[in-house]
Amino acid sequence: MKLACQENLVPGKSLEEKLYRLEKYGYAGIEFWGGNIKSRAEEIRRLCEQSKVKPSTICAGFRGSPLDADKGQRDLAMADIKELLEVAGYIGAIGVIVVPIFGQPKVPDLSPWKTAREIEFELLVKLLKDIAPHAERANSILLIEPLNRYETHFLRTLEDAVSVVKEVASPSVQIMADFFHMSIEEVNIAKSIEAAGPYIQHIHLADSTRLLPGYGHTDFEAGFTALKKIGFRNYMALECGVPGDPDLELPKCAEYLRKFI
């Protein structure tokens, strides 16, 4: 298991400076926001090749929505996601994090034929089956992220996300587990991680308060023990608030988490 941090959490006027700080803090990876990342791909690849800190993942950054009722919005989302997958492969990141939909359904409820959620499930599986070969050619993975009930009506647990991945049946479509969302939705985080097993290919770290690990009541020791049981070896990236000076808080967080790794 390797610690990573989202780029925006790290102080510094340049990527080179951020990479230097992360290495000094004790992190092995850096996660990038997907917005405009194509224009930065050359710089990211060059600087990360010279650094011990490597790209872990690309987080979202696409336009449209994969589960929009408007086909134009769906097409826009999938075209952007394809481009992001190509960039991820180019810079050496594991993959691209995708939330299928925020908020309430955008497709109609067509009961008694199909509910909105049933339509969304089938549509998502179809879209992911179509994009999986593209992800494979790009040497990248599309990582589905379940959110909590306050941010989405759709995929909210690891089990929900795994049910989609099993239907798609491609190694290029897997899931990401976020400790903050799990602290709301999972009855037992450790058991949920063990049940999701090899489908988990990336982790987001945040405490129950959505602050740095150690500033809430999430049991990271139990969660990390479960990750070790399933053989997880990839990056775990901070996606959270930093309550104080990052130059002090980020290395302190790395030290705290390494106790459980």
Distance CA 239, CA 30 (A): 11
Distance CA 100, CA 186 (A): 19
Q: Two tokens at 191?
A: 């058991």
Q: Two tokens at 189?
A: 């985080």
> Is 7 in the active site?
no
Active-site option among 145, 185, 186, 249: 145
What are phi and psi for residue 112, nearest 5 degrees? -85, 0
Q: Is the bond preceding residue 112 a cis peptide, omega within 30 degrees?
A: yes
What are phi and psi for residue 198, nearest 5 degrees? -70, -10
* Dihedral angle over CA of 206, 210, 216, 218, nearest 10: -50
> Is 83 in the active site?
no
Active-site option among 86, 120, 186, 239: 239
Active-site annotation, residues: 145, 239
